[in-house]
Structure 1
Amino acid sequence: MTLKDRTISGVLWSVGQQFGSKLVSFFITIILARILKPEEFGLIAMLSVFISIGNSLLDSGLTSSLIRTTDANQKDFSTVFYFNLIGSTILYIILFFCAPLISSFYDQKILTSIIRVYSLIFILNALFGIQSTLLVKEMRFKTQTNIQIPSSFVGGILGVLLAQAGYGVWSLVWMSLFTTFLITIFHWKYSDWRPSWIFDKKSFNLHFHFGYKMALSGILDTLYQNIYTLIIGKFYSATQLGYYSRAESISQLPTSNISAAVNKVTYPMFAEISNDNEQLKRVNKKVMQQVIFWNAPILIFMCSTAQPLFRFLLTDKWLPAVPYFQILCVAGIMYPLHAYNLNILKVKGRSDLFLKLEIIKKIISVIGILSVIPFGIYGLLYFQLSFNLIGFYINSIYSGKLINYSVKEQIFDVLPTIILSAIIGISVYFLNYFLVTSFNINDLTRIIMSALFYGFTYLSLSNILNLTAITDFKQLILKK
């Protein structure tokens, strides 16, 4: 199978896996949101920064190094496996004893016991990390689909049953742990890889030299991604954090999943062609255009129909989250482009530059966030929107130089799609207003009618305007 065929197959299965498992989780979360209180989601959101930092520390960028190393062998995989397993155990012990301090920071006593149970997820993640890495390296995304979706479904059922039984926030804790436990079991079932009793210092140093910079970059990015949660959780109520976390979670459903699914395929693919700058630029351009072509209209549609969407899915008690959601949807449009620009740095082995850029962006970010705290949650959200553009500019300058793909070129390649999506989105907003004021149509009907109008108009105009992304899609997928 050629690189092109493997990439197309990989993208389809990766998108299927990413969206399949996330859609299952999404619908489970919708059910849970109808049962549980916003503050109970807020309590789990308070842990997100510590869990994410822990995952970055645990991986230390070593799995990225394994993927980009074409001749990685059993010695390399076993060494990283034992490092992750030992590291996860140490990390769990640290969080176990630090739990009261975190609880005191948020002034939420219940967090102590939640952290001590939830943090077991680190050890479970370490147990299947290498199997997962090998599946990505070999582009076996169909297997990952067969792992993720059943695990998410069964874990979600447990969460709903516990919520209905009155377990409150603990239903979210046990759901996450049980889902990860099932993922661990399935990875060991579907993967032939088993660790050998090897820990090679030379191999560890090789991967750690590349990986620790990636890990530091990941920690910085994690702190940035969760700094809003930290600030809202510290200075506002758990209920407001619950609104924010739901708004962020739903707004990221298309953004993070399209980006993560394609990124999972493109990183090993980019690694194969890393020495051919012309081909790397050409492939990167097509990937960026495709992702924006599907990501932008979905986000803008959700922004245009936010109020009926939240009321229908989550009930009236979640309507205060609607303005947060709309801002986050707009902020997410350019987010996937960050990942592909950073992938260029990674496959070129420039983890030093990767780290440097993360430091620069986070310094700017922290200064900006501290400046807007007096303006409340909306100040934080509007800064998040503006900084997404700043971050894209910084990332694309350096990656663009490596493959001769400038910021200006990148923007002009995706701008027609964004403009078209926005124009149709404004039309949908007024269509919604007309439907509810003139005919008093219910929320579900409004959403369906708006979706049909948006989808038909967007695809029709894309064909008429002959956008590059729709042409490439028909050639690659539909063979037209």
Structure 2
Amino acid sequence: MGYLRDIVKGVSWLGGLKAISRAIAFAKTAILARVLIPAQFGLFGIASLVLELLEILTETGVNVVLMQEKKNMDTYINTAWIFSIARGFLISIVILLASPVIVVFFKSPDAYRLLYLMAVVPIIRGFINPSVVKLVKELKFKREFTFRLSIFIFDTLVAVSAALITHSAASIIYGLIAGAILEVILSYIIVKPRPRVTFEKEKLQEIVNRGKWLTGAGIFNYFFQHGDDIVVGRILGTYPLGIYQVAYRISTLPITEVSDVVGKVTFPVYVKISGEKKRLTQAFFKTLGGVCLLVIPFGALLFLFPREIINVTLGSNWLEAASVLKVLAIFGVIKAISNTVFAVLLSLGKQKYVTLITFVGILGLGVSILPLVRAYGIVGAGISALIGAIVAIPAAIYALRKSLEEVK
């Protein structure tokens, strides 16, 4: 039962981290919602959509590969770091070059400045020490707690302070930049080895080869998570996009963060018992039950009292989000529960199944998003996201069953 103690310990620390950080995030969103208008949130949403897409397109899955490595992961650190730096500069250059096209696509010339500012973020993040993955891999959850919470608090303080002073959407990006700088500094202080300027082509090829399915899954997952944002921003504009993204954030943060914490904790534990079918199966179903007990009450609360929650957290100016919040609450619960299979699949090296599940979900979203948004606005976008989550469930069940059958 050692794995269960590790899971409980990890959930305690990372659960505490997520609980505190989400409480701060709610406070941050509430303050910013009273300082900024929905259209400004929409402008930031455009810039963040672009950054995240480019990060996903250039993702090698290096962190997961390092977590899966059962021998000496230190031999990959230098190569991973050099690649990360190059990737950061590449993303920044593409953002700058693509800005005119992005502005025309979203019909939002005010997004120019935010895109230029957002281009700074990937350059800074590129210098983060890849060794930080050891904090979770080696189950050092207390240090991970301190590390992540420090970054999040600093990001929030800078963003809120800048918003109160400037009343600009750029304040949120100032917070991201500040958080990235602190993350780089701390990554060299709290964990070793520190990377050196050496590069091994063979190591990079191995990382890319092992992580190629994760790259595909990441691309599909991006469009599953943000396809609705893109369509809302393109068809309805920045104001509805701001309303929708904030509603999405409120509805999914307390729910999906639970499954994210559990997934992060269980992944290294599952890796350790990946050769023992009975223990792995028991661990998964206990985890699934725990996630259900946590997320369903949260979802019910959001579904039953959407106007009250929005009025308290954001203020009366954001009550338009109440109708879509009910739909997104159901989406969040289903997504959180179904996502529990990913940690098992990754622990068994079944990245291709993660890609398959995400692809099925994006098909459901892609087929329904345009007609539903045109007919029902942001509520239609929420319904489309829900459809995508539902149609992915059979694929998740199939992948889990197939993978466990192959364990001896």
Q: Give TM-score, length-normalised by structure 2.
A: 0.94
1:326-366 Cα offsets, whole Å, 9 max, x none, are: 11011111212332222222222222333344334433431
| 1:64 Cα offset (Å) | 0.6
Secondary structure of 2:195's counterpart equals: coil
Find the counterpart in structure 2 of residue 26 from structure 1: 26
Change (3 A) 1:132 1:20: farther
Find the counterpart in structure 2 of residue 330 from structure 1: 330
8 A contact 1:341–1:400 mirrored in 2 = no
| 1:129 Cα offset (Å) | 5.4
1:387-431 Cα offsets, whole Å, 9 max, x none, are: 2121122111121222259xxxxxxxxxxxxxxxxxxxxxxxxxx
The answer to whether the aligner puts 1:390 opposite 2:394 as a matched pair is: no
Secondary structure of 1:59's counterpart equals: coil
Identity of aligned pairs, percent? 20
8 A contact 1:278–1:403 mirrored in 2 = no
Find the counterpart in structure 1 of residue 52 from structure 2: 52
Find the counterpart in structure 2 of residue 315 from structure 1: 315
Letter in 1 for 2:280: L
Cα distance in 2 between the residues matched to 1:243 and 1:159: 19
Secondary structure of 2:339's counterpart equals: helix
Cα distance in 1 between the residues matched to 2:117 and 2:202: 35
| 1:256 Cα offset (Å) | 2.3
Letter in 1 for 2:253: L
Find the counterpart in structure 2 of residue 255 from structure 1: 255
Secondary structure of 2:128's counterpart equals: helix
Find the counterpart in structure 1 of residue 232 from structure 2: 232
Find the counterpart in structure 1 of residue 64 from structure 2: 64
Find the counterpart in structure 2 of residue 302 from structure 1: 302
Secondary structure of 2:301's counterpart equals: helix
Letter in 1 for 2:384: F
Cα distance in 2 between the residues matched to 1:340 and 1:139: 19
Cα distance in 1 between the residues matched to 2:389 and 2:188: 38
1:160-179 Cα offsets, whole Å, 9 max, x none, are: 22222234111112122112
Change (3 A) 1:251 1:129: farther
Cα distance in 2 between the residues matched to 1:361 and 1:322: 25
Following superposition of structure 1 onto structure 2, how do residues 44-443 of structure 1 map, counting pairs within 5 Å?
Answer: 44-128=44-128, 130-377=130-377, 378-403=379-404
Tell me how large the CA RMSD over aligned residues is.
2.0
Find the counterpart in structure 1 of residue 37 from structure 2: 37
Cα distance in 2 between the residues matched to 1:151 and 1:351: 30
Q: What is the count of residue pairs matched by the alignment?
A: 405
Instruction: Decide which moves more: 237-246 or 361-370.
Output: 361-370
| 1:106 Cα offset (Å) | 0.9
Change (3 A) 1:308 1:354: closer
8 A contact 2:365–2:387 mirrored in 1 = no
1:85-120 Cα offsets, whole Å, 9 max, x none, are: 111111111111111111111111121221121122
8 A contact 1:62–1:211 mirrored in 2 = yes
Find the counterpart in structure 2 of residue 446 from structure 1: none
Secondary structure of 1:127's counterpart equals: coil
8 A contact 1:135–1:144 mirrored in 2 = yes
Unaligned residue ranges in structure 2 (runs of 5+): none
| 1:83 Cα offset (Å) | 1.1
8 A contact 1:61–1:215 mirrored in 2 = yes
Letter in 1 for 2:62: L
Letter in 2 for 1:286: K
Change (3 A) 1:144 1:58: farther
Cα distance in 1 between the residues matched to 2:250 and 2:373: 24
Secondary structure of 1:148's counterpart equals: helix
Cα distance in 2 between the residues matched to 1:371 and 1:209: 38
Cα distance in 2 between the residues matched to 1:256 and 1:193: 32
Change (3 A) 1:221 1:253: same
8 A contact 1:24–1:149 mirrored in 2 = no
Instruction: Decide which moves more: 34-43 or 358-367.
Output: 358-367
Cα distance in 1 between the residues matched to 2:356 and 2:88: 27
Cα distance in 1 between the residues matched to 2:19 and 2:86: 32
- Runs of 4 or more, structure 1, over 6 Å off, are none
| 1:319 Cα offset (Å) | 0.4
Instruction: Decide which moves more: 290-299 or 364-373.
Output: 364-373
| 1:201 Cα offset (Å) | 2.2
8 A contact 1:75–1:199 mirrored in 2 = no
Letter in 2 for 1:49: L
| 1:65 Cα offset (Å) | 0.9
Instruction: Decide which moves more: 281-290 or 177-186.
Output: 177-186
| 1:221 Cα offset (Å) | 0.9
Secondary structure of 2:392's counterpart equals: helix
1:148-196 Cα offsets, whole Å, 9 max, x none, are: 2233223322222222223411111212211222222222221232013
| 1:61 Cα offset (Å) | 1.0
Secondary structure of 1:240's counterpart equals: helix
1:19-77 Cα offsets, whole Å, 9 max, x none, are: 22232122122111111111111111123332222222343112111101111332212
Change (3 A) 1:305 1:353: closer
Find the counterpart in structure 2 of residue 423 from structure 1: none
Cα distance in 2 between the residues matched to 1:374 and 1:314: 26
Change (3 A) 1:72 1:215: farther
Cα distance in 1 between the residues matched to 2:312 and 2:362: 37
